[in-house]
Amino acid sequence: AQSVTQPDIHITVSEGASLELRCNYSYGATPYLFWYVQSPGQGLQLLLKYFSGDTLVQGIKGFEAEFKRSQSSFNLRKPSVHWSDAAEYFCAVTMYSGGGADGLTFGKGTHLIIQP
């Protein structure tokens, strides 16, 4: 069965510092990969996605992510965080298998705290 692991439940970063959120997936082949952000009391907003091609993808709000097939990872990065980046971040994967459950499989999320 497919699975997504976000090893860090909470991460605290100082404003202006760089950020990396980790995501590892378990699949038999290359899945479609996503990062979503959820602000308190809100729905989920797509930050970026990877389907194929260039393994470094750019998203909104200055975020980027790198797909590494050898490590089954899709880590999210930002060079300099802002206080408004404080939120819950979810990595998600999907793969059209022709059978089984479709839709996204989510990691359990990483709660990002920004220190002034």
Cα–Cα distance measured from residue 12 to residue 44, given in angstroms and rounded to the nearest whole number: 21
CB of 85 to another protein, least distance (A): 19
Nearer to another protein, 43 or 116 (CB): 43
CB of 17 to another protein, least distance (A): 26
Nearer to another protein, 86 or 95 (CB): 95
Q: Which residues bind another protein (CB under 8 A)?
A: 4, 9, 32, 34, 36, 42-46, 49, 90, 92, 94-96, 101-109
Read off the amino acid at residue 1: A
3-state SS, residue 83: helix
Nearer to another protein, 78 or 90 (CB): 90
Q: Which residues are within 8 A (CB) of 87 and not within 5 positions of it... i.e. 6 or more apart? A: 37, 38, 39, 40, 112
